[in-house]
Amino acid sequence: MRRSFTLFSIVVHAIVISAALLAQVFAVGALPTPHQPILYESARVIPVDIQPPKPRLATGTSDPVSVSAAPVVSPTGVIEETGRENEPAQAPGSMVSGVESGTPSGIDGIGNMAAVQLLPPPSPEPATPMHLHSGMKAPVKVVDVPPIYPVISRNAHIQGVVILEAVLDAKGNVTSVRVLRSVQTLDQAAVDAVQQWRFTPALLNGQPVPVVMTVTVNFTLTDR
């Protein structure tokens, strides 16, 4: 029973759909009226009043002309070169000051000659003392001052060798002394003596240079 109802429903729907399609195909009637075309109004020209720029008024000054600009007037002749063609032209009435022909001189605003003060050359920076090596000519002692044996050391029979490090400037003068090996009560006497010594300058490539060298002072008691 249920199956028969389903088949009947399908047949009925098919008949209804077919009838609707056939009615559309065989229907006869008036055709639809086409739409009217849209007409656009031609654009109107709106006049625009454009004023031309006003001419520039002539003034007493003219625009600066570059020195490298091409000439606009043909030359009347050929002049000899001076070697200063590429230098900027000086303004009329300007004055130039400087050194001419190796003579230090200048021109002030009034036109009078004024001497130019030359600054002295900067003093050379002191060279750092260097230790003696085989490529240098060693300094030679030219002034020898013997040390004074301290009385307290003599009475205590203290003797020995004091080793010092002496710094010599480029002229051979002793500028500072430092004790490397000390002997009790004898160090100051050794320093006082070495500070009075004088040497020939140490030479490096023929030039005097400050150096650091090691010297010894021997304190020995002699029997009388």
Q: Which residue has the higher pLDDT, 108 or 218?
A: 218
13: in domain: no
203: in domain: yes
111: in domain: no
Domain membership of residue 176 as a residue range = 130-219
How do residues 32-91 score in pLDDT, each as one tens digit? 676 666 555 555 656 666 777 777 766 555 555 665 666 677 777 677 777 676 666 665
Task: Check which CATH number belongs to the domain holding 204 and give it.
Answer: 3.30.2420.10
* 220 contact partners, CB below 8 Å, separation of at least 6: 159
Separation CA 137–CA 130 (nearest Å): 13
Report the pLDDT averaged over residues 3-9: 78
194: in domain: yes
45: in domain: no
180: in domain: yes
* CA-closest candidate to residue 199, choices 154, 178, 168: 168
How do residues 115-125 score in pLDDT, each as one tens digit? 445 667 665 55
Mean pLDDT for the chain?
A: 77
119: in domain: no
pLDDT at 146 over 80: yes
* Number of separate domains in the chain: 1
